[in-house]
Structures are given as C-alpha cells and as structure tokens.
Amino acid sequence: MSKWILFTDGAADKHAYPVENINGVFLTSNTNITVYVRNVVQPTEAVSDDTITLTCTADHSERELERLLKKLVNKNNNVEVKVSNGITAVAYTAGS
C-alpha cells in the first residue's frame, strides 16, 4: 500500500498524492518551499509537474523543509502538510 502526502490549505482546498510521485522538494527562498509532484491526470513528459508552494514564516523555511523530509522518510505514516506555526500558506498549481 502506498504512502500518501496530503497538502491542506483549507476545508475545500486539499490535494493528495502518493509519496512516490514527488519529483523534488526545493528550498526556493527564506520563506518558500516548492514541491514538484508528477501530474496524476496526465503523467507524461509532455505535461509539467504540479507544484505545491509552501509559504513559511520568515527564516523558517529550512526548518519546515527538514520537518517535511523527516515525515516523508517515516515509513509508517501518511503525511499531512497544512498551515501551522511555521507554514502560513499552501498553494497548489496544476501542471500544464
């Protein structure tokens, strides 16, 4: 059974992916982490990855990235990423 990651920005704004669909996680600034996930609707080279941008409190993005990576390597639990003390927004952009 696959391990899943759920990105939540509100009750009606949730996106879940199998963890193995994550292609990369990048620290892009002191306030942003970008997660690249294989587009599940059209998972081909012709369609770019979906992106999830995590906006963090200033100078907390490195800590939040480390926290996310620790959750991903834990083999027993699914992962939820949501607005919390260090993460102020979770934004989804579909690949095209």
- Answer with the residue of higher pLDDT: 1 or 56: 56
Task: Quick: pLDDT tens for 30-63.
Answer: 999 999 999 877 767 777 889 999 999 998 899 9
- pTM for the model stands at 0.87
- The pLDDT assigned to 12 comes to 77
Q: Where do the structural domains in the chain lie, given as residue ranges?
A: 4-93
* Residue 54 CB partners (closer than 8 Å, separation 6+): 32, 33, 34, 35, 61, 64, 68, 81, 87, 89, 90
Q: Rank 7-16, 39-48, 49-58, 77-86 by mean pLDDT and report only the highest.
A: 49-58
CB half-sphere exposure, 54, CA atoms < 13 A? 30
Judged by DSSP in three states, 35 sits in: strand
| Residue 7: per-residue pLDDT | 92
Spatial separation of the C-alpha atoms in residues 79 and 59, rounded to whole Å: 23
Q: Considering only 9-13, 25-29, 82-86, which range has the smallest mean pLDDT?
A: 9-13
User: Is pLDDT at 64 greater than 70 in this prediction?
Assistant: yes
